[in-house]
Amino acid sequence: MRIALCQIPVGDDPKDNLEHVLEALAIASEADLAIFPEATQVRFGRAMAAAAEPLDGPWVTTLAEAARRHRTAVIVGVFEPAPDGRVYNTAVAIDADGRAAGAYRKIHLFDAFGFRESELIAPGDTPTVVELAGTRVGLVTCYDLRFPELARALVDRGADLLAVIASWAQGNFKEEHWVTLIRARAIENTTWTVAVDKAPDPPQAPGGAIGVGRSLLVDPMGTVQTDLGPFPGVRVVEIDDLITEHVRKTLPALEHRRPDLFG
């Protein structure tokens, strides 16, 4: 399976951001699946409510048409209106035919390091696995990465691949947390893990600098196979299911769990 890690810049104008997505998708047209950051539609801030659309709105529909043209499935972060006046932070999955394959509303909201995501965003409540390019993909969004029970629930629901999308806030030791947590989720679940962050904002960005880059492909043994570093870029990588089979024979940790003790 060929996956494009699309580490693109994201700004305050949804139209400009959509252009960046379409350009990256054209570069990634050889991939089976292209993964974009959390909040690709518009940068985190007060503009989220104004930019939010239903999932059949023009922003996602335009992207779905491009996915169909390129025959490339897509995972991308958008905002959709919530009933209480806030918005949902949603990961949308589109298949290679341009059809909706599913959507995941972020469960764990980032009320930490001085941020209050819950003031503007409503939480979701459903772990989500989607079928894309013949693979079952478990969806994880940013702060979710700090909660191992979500990744494990996705694997229990049949995920063969974990896809993490993020707009990881910059800060003290934050980049180390990002890399360590991605590797941990891959190791403890013996599962390929692809994590795509936005390209970093400049330090003086209004509202706080977001994005550390470092989009990663990590294999089921925890080896970092690809690291995009701090600059914008699109990289097409391959994952091999035979590696998963080999690792799980060598390290059958999922079989050694004790649900009789821990549920």
Catalytic-residue membership of 106: yes
Alpha helices in the chain (DSSP H): 14-27, 48-51, 58-70, 148-156, 174-189, 241-250, 259-262
pLDDT of residue 46: 81
Which listed residue (38, 80, 117, 198) is catalytic? 38
Which listed residue (6, 80, 142, 198) is catalytic? 142
Pairing of strands 33-35, 2-7: parallel
Q: How far is it, in rounded angstroms, from Cα 212 to Cα 182? A: 14
Mean pLDDT estimate for the chain: 97
pLDDT of residue 204: 82
Tell whether the model's pLDDT for residue 207 goes beyond 80.
no
Tell whether the model's pLDDT for residue 262 goes beyond 80.
yes
pLDDT per residue as tens digits for the range 3-19: 999 999 999 999 999 99
Residue whose pair of structure tokens reads 């629930």 in the numeric block? 153
pLDDT per residue as tens digits for the range 84-130: 999 999 999 999 999 999 999 999 999 999 999 999 999 999 999 99
Instruction: Decide: pTM greater than 0.85.
Output: yes
Q: Name beta bridge partners: 41.
A: none
Catalytic-residue membership of 6: no
